Amino acid sequence: MIRNFVSKFTLLSLLALLFVACNDAVTYSEMKEKERNAVNRFIKENGIKVISFADFVANDSVTDVAKNEFVEIDGVYMQIVNNPADAADALKLKDGESRTFLVRYNEYNIQEGDTISTNIYMGEPDEMRVTNNSGTFSATFTSGVMMALYSTSYVPSGWLTPFGFLYFTRSTSNLAKVNLIVPHTKGTSNASTYVYPCLYSITFQPERSYVYDED
């Protein structure tokens, strides 16, 4: 009798603990809402003006840095800080091309308010191989901090958003540069797992073997 009572009491206790644990767990929907709130707060606190993609295209794919404009494209907020389209040697990545780019970046966790990683002050930039397949871009890291930090060659898909609009040059004083607000769905594996958005400041420089063909 006592044994049965103890068994039933133990079972009820375990069920009660499980119920409390389930109630304390944060759902994926709640995590996404927290992420959205963090992005909206960041946009408001930093005086960011979000423009539509239609306005962006109508303005020759330009974001006005003086007005702190960002354009939203499939959940990614992009600000083109510098696009060296007028440089004598500047070209876009053409359809069917695969090129290696030297990348300098800073990765900032918007939700937590701190920098996760950066290679801006390091000797070597990260390297990423980018392919243009009929306007769809794919990429892999071949070396650098991002590859070492996350133990993968995977490039966050949000990083590829600018490639349809940027021109590239090797001139260090005129490199293509963007700021990106990237949601967890288009971020690193960690961002995807823990559901947080990041702000990236990135410059792209073609490697030395980049061939500037005539149009």
Q: What is the CATH number of the domain that holds 41?
A: 3.10.50.40
Distance, CA of 190 to CA of 141 (rounded, Å): 16
Distance, CA of 123 to CA of 104 (rounded, Å): 10
The residues that bridge with 129 in the sheet, in sequence order, are 100, 140
Distance, CA of 72 to CA of 186 (rounded, Å): 13
Where the chain has pLDDT below 70, the residues are: 1-24, 209-215
Domain span at residue 66? 28-206
Is residue 94, in this structure, part of any structural domain at all? yes
Rounded percentage of the chain residues whose pLDDT exceeds 70: 86
DSSP-H helix ranges across the chain: 2-24, 28-45, 53-58, 145-150, 189-194
- Residues in contact with 198: Cβ distance below 8 Å, sequence separation at least 6, in sequence order: 107, 108, 109, 110, 116, 181, 182, 187, 188, 191
Is residue 143, in this structure, part of any structural domain at all? yes
Is residue 3, in this structure, part of any structural domain at all? no
Is residue 12, in this structure, part of any structural domain at all? no
Which tokens is 186 given? 């288009």
Is residue 20, in this structure, part of any structural domain at all? no
The total domain count for the chain is 1
- Residues in contact with 170: Cβ distance below 8 Å, sequence separation at least 6, in sequence order: 89, 205, 206, 208, 210
Is residue 74, in this structure, part of any structural domain at all? yes
Is residue 173, in this structure, part of any structural domain at all? yes
Is residue 155, in this structure, part of any structural domain at all? yes
Question: Which pLDDT belongs to residue 209?
Answer: 56
The candidate with the shortest Cα–Cα distance to 94, out of 56, 58, 130, is: 130
The letter for the amino acid at 28 is: Y
